[in-house]
Amino acid sequence: GRRAMVGGEVRRVRMGDRVAMNVSPSGRAAIEREEGTLLHWYRDAVGIETGGTGHVRRPGDPDTFDAAMADEWLVNDLRVAESAVNSHSPTSIGQRSFDACCSLAFNVGGGAFATSSVARLMAAGDWHGAADAFLLFDKLSVSGKLVPSQALAARRMRERTMFLLDVSTTDDVA
């Protein structure tokens, strides 16, 4: 279940006992800023053929595409990220924390998010640890080796900051 954008309206759909969340408009805008949007295919920093807003080219994707197609891909790719975060985050997650997790999942993949220290620490109730775990995803895989990326480190810091907007600091006070 999920909340789906249908003809400009947002509908909530149940996932078992939980009402699934969706990326907010500001969360989507943040992901679009992070990913950028190009209306042609290109090789990303690790050589993956990409187009639109961070869309990995799939078999059957056309050689050329327009803004409408890029937006359709973005909506579908966001659904994958939302599903991973909904399945691997506590029901108590706030919207901005959810958006930050979706940005991470969009970038690293739903499977990587599902097994991430971010998801594990959230499940354990360690919200500050989960926030810090975003910073671990600051490397690119180049020829099978992990190489630090300043661009990813900066993105992860922005995602961590967004995540923490919903995290109370009162549990830090003795």
Averages of pLDDT over runs of 10 residues in the chain (174 residues) are 39 59 98 97 94 97 97 97 96 96 97 97 96 97 92 98 86 45
Amino acid type, 115: T
Instruction: Supply the pTM of this predicted model.
Output: 0.86
Among the options 9, 17, 32, 44, which is catalytic? 44
Question: Residue 130 class from Cβ within 10 Å (0-12 exposed, 13-18 middle, 19+ buried)?
Answer: buried
Q: Is 159 a catalytic residue?
A: no
Using CA atoms, how far apart are residues 134 and 121, in angstroms rounded to an integer? 11
Residue 17's pLDDT is what?
60
Q: Is 9 a catalytic residue?
A: no
Among the options 9, 17, 35, 172, which is catalytic? 35
